[in-house]
Amino acid sequence: MSTNKLALIRYKIIDQCLQQKHRKWTLEDLIEKVSDGLYELEGINNGVSKRTIQSDLQLMRSNKLGYNAPIIVKDRKYYSYEDPNYSISNSPLSSVDMEKMKEAVDLLKHLNGFNFFEEMSDMIVRLESHIYSNNTHGKSIVQMEGNPLLKGIKWITPLYKAIKEEIPLLIKYKSFRSQQPIEKIYYPYLLKEFRNRWFLICKQKNIDNIITLALDRIVDLDEMAKGGFKHYEGVNFDRYYSDVIGVTKSEKDRGQKVLLQIDKSNAPYIETKPIHSSQQIINRSEDGSIIIRIDVVLNLELEREILGFGECIKVLAPKSLEKRIKYRLNRAYRRYELTPPEKPIQDKLNTSENG
C-alpha cells in the first residue's frame, strides 16, 4: 500500500472529524477514529501512533500540501477548526500545484490533434485566475518534436472517441497502392504513434485479422451504430507490440533474434539509446565496437532503423535480413552510379527561368 495514499486517507478522516461542530475531539479520539477508518477502508488492524497523528495535524496546518488548515486546540485538549466552514476538500489549489498542472498541460498540448487538451488548457487559465491577480507567461523550456505539416492529425480526436465508446466507423481510406479511396466498416481498437506519425489499429468488418491504417491516408470517416461493434479478443496490445519496432506486424509474426555489429563511434550512442527494449550486448571488441542482440519482428521499420546508421552498422543475423539490407544498400549505391542525363537538371532549370 502506498504511504502517500494512507496519509491522504488519514488527512481525510481527521478533516471529517474536525468538521463536526457538535463534538470535541481529543488526540486520543482522533487516533481511535483514524485507526477504525484504516481498518474499514484498507484492512489495516495495527492502528496508528500518537506521533503519526501529531505529524498529520502539523502537516495539515502547514502550506506543504497547500491546506493551511486553521486547526486550533481549545483548553489545551480539544482539536477543532477555527473556521467552522473550513475543509481540506474546499482548499484552493496552491501556486505550486497550479504550476505543475500548467507544465503537464503544456506537454500534453504537444500531442497535436487532441482537441480536449486545448480545452483543458483553458480550464487551467480559469483556475489560475483565482490564485494570481496577474498572469505572466514565461519562455518555453520544453520543446518536443512535432510536424505541423503532418496530415491526418484532425482524425485523432474522433478516433479516440470511437475507441473509448466502442463505435464502429465507416472509413474512406486511400492506400498508397490504390488509385481511388475505398469505403469500408472498421472496428477501432488502438491509436499508435511512431516517429511523429499516427496509426489506427483496427479490424475490418467480416475479416478477423488486425490491420493498420495510417491516419494521413484517411479521406473521411463517419460513426456507425454502437450495437454493431466487434470487440478484440486477442492478446493485450502492450504485449502484441512488445517485439516490434514501429507498427508493421501481423498476428502471425513473431520476434526473431537479430545480431548487429556497431562500430566504435556509434557504440556509446546505441548503449545509451537502445534500438529496442530487448537489446543485449553480446560482445565487446578491443577496437571499441560491440555486437548487440534484439528480438524483434522483421519489418520495414527495422530495415529503416538499420539503414539510418549507414556504414556504421552491419547485420550478422538472420541471413534473410542481411541479404535484404545488402540489396537495399546496393540499390542506393547504384542510384549514385547512374550515368547523368545528357542535359543537366540545372541547365533545364536555367532554361525554364530564362524562358
Mapped onto helix, strand or coil, the DSSP state of residue 35 is helix
Mean pLDDT, to the nearest integer, of 223-252? Answer: 91
**255-300 pLDDT per residue, tens:** 999 999 999 999 999 999 999 999 999 999 999 999 999 999 999 9
pLDDT-derived band at 226, boundaries 50, 70, 90: confident
pLDDT-derived band at 243, boundaries 50, 70, 90: very high
Q: Of 182-191, 226-235, 283-292, 334-343, which gets the smallest average pLDDT?
A: 334-343
Residue that the C-alpha cell 477555527 belongs to? 82
Share of the chain above pLDDT 90, in %: 58
**104-128 pLDDT per residue, tens:** 666 665 565 666 665 555 555 555 5
Mean pLDDT (the chain, rounded): 84
DSSP-assigned letters across all residues of 328-341: HHHHHHHHHHSPPP
Give whole-number Cα distances, 246 to 44, 121, 188, 196, 215, in Å.
46, 31, 18, 11, 15
CATH class of 3-90: mainly alpha
* Three cell numbers written together for 151: 496530415
Q: In whole angstroms, give the CA distance from residue 168 to residue 146.
A: 30
**124-139 pLDDT per residue, tens:** 555 555 444 334 445 5
Mean pLDDT, to the nearest integer, of 159-182? Answer: 93
pTM, to two decimals: 0.61
The pLDDT of residue 124 is 56
Instruction: Write down the domain spans for the chain.
Output: 3-90, 95-128, 153-234, 256-337
**Which one is the CATH code of 153-234: 3.30.1360, 2.40.320, 2.30.30, 2.60.40?**
2.30.30
Range list of H helices, the chain = 3-18, 27-42, 50-61, 95-108, 115-128, 156-165, 237-240, 267-272, 300-307, 319-337, 345-354
The pLDDT of residue 112 is 57
